[in-house]
Copies of this chain bind each other. A is one copy, B any other.
Amino acid sequence: MKKEKIPQPTIERLPIYYRCILQMKAEGIRTVSSEELGRRIGVNSAQIRKDLTYFGEFGRRGIGYEIESLIEDIMRILGVTQERRMLIVGVGNLGTALLRHRGFSKEQFHIVAAFDSDPEKIGQEIEEISVYDLRLLDTIIKEKDIEVAVVTVPAKDAQRVVNQLVGCDIKGILNFAPTQVTVPENIKLRNVDLGVELLRLSYHLTNS
> A84–B193 Cα gap in the complex (Å)?
19
> A171–B207 Cα gap in the complex (Å)?
12
| Set of chain B residues within 8 Å of A148, measured between Cβ atoms | 201, 205
Instruction: Tell me if A27 is interfacial: C-beta within 8 Å of chain B.
Output: no
Instruction: Tell me if A64 is interfacial: C-beta within 8 Å of chain B.
Output: no
> A78–B123 Cα gap in the complex (Å)?
43
| Set of chain B residues within 8 Å of A172, measured between Cβ atoms | 201, 204-205
Copies in the complex: 2
| Set of chain B residues within 8 Å of A2, measured between Cβ atoms | 207
> A6–B104 Cα gap in the complex (Å)?
35
Instruction: Tell me if A188 is interfacial: C-beta within 8 Å of chain B.
Output: yes
Q: Would you call B205 and A84 a contact (CB within 8 A)?
A: yes
Interface hit among A13-21, A134-142, A160-168: A13-21
Query: Nearest CB to that of A15 among chain B residues?
Result: B199
Instruction: Give the top 8 A-B pairs by smallest Cβ distance, nearest first.
Output: A79-B206, A97-B97, A15-B199, A93-B97, A93-B100, A188-B204, A15-B196, A79-B202
- 6 additional contacts (CB under 8 A) given A19-B196, A23-B180: A41-B180, A78-B199, A78-B203, A79-B205, A84-B205, A93-B97
